Amino acid sequence: MSEVDLDFLRLPLGPLTDAALEAMAATKGVGYGDIRVHRDRVQGIHVREHDLISLSESQPLGFGVRLVVDGSWGFAASSDLSQDGVRRAVGAAAEMARLLRPLLEERVELAPEPAHRETWVGEVELNPFDVAADAKVSFMLEATDRCLRAGAKFAEFYCLQVQENRFFVSTEGSRITQQRVRLHPALEAGLVDEQGSGLIETMRSTARPVGRGWEYVESHGFPDEAERMVSWLQEKLAAPAVRPGAYDLVIDPSNLWLTIHESVAHGTELDRALGYEANFAGTTFATPDQIGSLHYGSPRMHITGDRVEPSGLATVGFDDEGVAAQRWDIIRDGILVGYQLNRQMAHKFQLARSNGCAYSDSWSHLPLQRMPNVSLQPDPDRDTSLEELFGEVEEGIYILGDKSWSIDQQRYNFQFTGQRFYRIHKGRLSGQLRDVAYQSRTPDFWGRLEAVGGRSSWELQGAFNCGKGEPQQVAPVSHGCPPGLFRQIKVLNAREEGRK
């Protein structure tokens, strides 16, 4: 797919944005202004066992206007796509800015950004909205049926698909059209040990949400994986429970991505570091006075932020302030060297440019400083394999898949579980374990990172539902990583801990 959806282009984008610019120019005190027309196409399909449970579709559409008036932000949004509706929104945003001005401690200033007049379309092979709903339902029912035939007690499959279109125009001369597609397929099966312990275990597919099209669902191999999931569950129910202690851990990308998300990506949001999120989402131990000196982890730890990774959920051509997508270092050689920024934060810290981290999840919401794709880079010197990492472990655990997690408000103390756990004995896998949870403090955990896999072991994982802000916004984000070897991490028996 290389063209923007014609239905979106048929909207009165030019007249609306021209009316907005004219109204901004006629409003006293406006130093900056932008308008963003935003339409999503959303389809959710949910099947359980042999039945279609729900098929929902929506198409939210509207625009948001931002102004800086006399150094103060104002914002207004509307679904009234008329020139009069735009003019009213500009007036409402200006009034909000004037009302807020006496409350501000400092004037809003934005880091510079060149004007961009471009169209950007995320590349997908098969737009899910070009695939008949009946065909998608049949595909999903085949996967749940395979789970049941293999012995699962229950099975369900949910797939959320989104096509996002935005048209952005600013008083600085930017005029940007964007389109991207993403989807989240989630197959889950469950088993009950009816003859023995009565334990219930569930497991999800290894498929992750991605910025791709329906081709990803078709190529993942869901029907075959459905049978493997049941065999993994059967083995897990019969597996011994883990004995608490300190273990060497080899953590698969399917689990490590979430640890990156919670302990690193959220911990390096600059607005959080400055306390702007303290009332809702918390703060972080990684404060700005430690830039260039904080040992976040071992020298093996190289974390980047980007809005350019192919198929990334946070990948765009331009952010919601018209800043072109980039890639940059957040942690290099284990040292904190950067943050996630929008234009206001970049100016505050006297940086030449924002790294493009402004995003709004809806036409009705103000863009916030939001997470880009935040990734752990692979071994730069050799293509270290997963098996080679196992070979470095005398006694340890291999962890795959994400499940429950907990982390404190400073992104410091945490605990994570997973989907599958395998004992590593003398460098080789030796059967599954149950009830594994690992616990640590962020700098201690990452300081025990001894080795990472090479480029061929690097995988892109992620989530649709990263929450932030009041009122809360939900953003999609990807995290790439190789498997990592961590030495002597505290492991708990999660089931025993739950009984305490």
pLDDT attached to residue 281 = 84
Tokens (6 digits) for 163: 């096509």
Look up the CATH number of domain 6-238.
3.30.2290.10
Which amino acid is residue 346, in one-letter code?
Answer: A
CB 335 within 8 A of CB 35: no
Nearest-CA neighbor of 31 among 108, 99, 143? Answer: 108
Tokens (6 digits) for 113: 């950004």
The CA distance from 313 to 325, in Å, is 13
Residue 255 belongs to what H/E stretch? Answer: helix 253-260
pLDDT attached to residue 2 = 62
pLDDT attached to residue 499 = 80
Under 8 Å CB-to-CB from 274, ≥6 apart: which residues?
Answer: 288, 345
CB 186 within 8 A of CB 203: no
In the chain, domain spans: 6-238, 245-499
The CA distance from 12 to 63, in Å, is 12
Under 8 Å CB-to-CB from 499, ≥6 apart: which residues?
Answer: none
Tokens (6 digits) for 363: 């036409």
Query: Model-level pTM?
Result: 0.96
Tens digit of each residue's pLDDT, the chain (500 residues): 468 999 999 999 999 999 999 999 999 999 999 999 999 999 999 999 999 999 999 999 999 999 999 999 999 999 999 999 999 999 999 999 999 999 998 999 999 999 999 999 999 999 999 999 999 999 999 999 999 999 999 999 999 999 999 999 999 999 999 999 999 999 999 999 877 777 889 999 999 999 999 999 999 999 999 999 999 999 999 999 999 999 999 999 999 999 999 999 999 999 999 998 898 889 999 999 999 999 999 999 999 999 999 999 999 999 999 999 999 999 999 999 999 999 999 999 888 899 999 999 999 999 999 999 999 999 999 999 999 999 999 999 999 999 999 999 999 999 999 999 999 999 999 999 999 999 999 999 999 999 999 999 999 999 999 999 988 999 999 999 999 999 999 999 998 887 87
Omega before 471 within 30 of 0, i.e. cis: yes
pLDDT attached to residue 110 = 97
pLDDT attached to residue 1 = 45
The CA distance from 251 to 487, in Å, is 11
Structure-token match 């390096």, residue found:
268
pLDDT attached to residue 500 = 75
Q: How far apart are the first and last CA of the chain?
A: 54
